[in-house]
Homo-oligomer: A and B are copies of this chain.
Amino acid sequence: MPSGEAAIPHSPATLKLDGYLPYRLSVASNAVSRLIARAYEDRFGLTIPQWRLIAVLAEDGPLTQHAIGSRTVMDKVTVSRATQGLVKRSLVQRAPHDVDGRSHRLALSKAGARLYKEVAPVALEYEARLLQEFEPAAVAGLKQLLLHLERIAAELAAGDGAAASAP
């Protein structure tokens, strides 16, 4: 990490909670998550982890739980529990993994695929409403920024003073 000199300060020298990024981010994310969680729960009986799992199976086809976890940034415990709920409702099918006896191959069932087709437009509609006042370019920029933040936060967390330069 390049040492010392404070480059262009992006933040005022004095802290203002209202303009503090981690705060703004957390508050916005909570508000959105809460809205979405309620919608999925009320309309489809799905938790957010379950929804993510369905979405990723619909997009990428059959996956192991491990793959789902890394693909969707969810803990293995979270994935395990989401899976159990979905299997119980027969929205997801589990087959043994042919080459690895510890693992399973998860796939959407017919019913799961049908449900996905119902949920996806609702999901898109919520997103559209949330973003309706913004320029498409601004939205694209926001998403890029979020991805970037995520990466940097992970880097800082990994080597918070330690490994940062060496690959």
Contact = CB atoms under 8 A, between A and B. Distances in A.
A20 B124 CA distance: 8
A20 B38 CA distance: 17
Interface residues of A, number: 68
Contact of A32 (B13, B14, B153): B153
Interface in A104-147: 120, 123-124, 126-134, 136, 138-139, 141-143, 145-147
Contacts of A38: 157, 160
A29 B27 CA distance: 9
A88 interface: no
Contacts of A55: 15, 17, 20
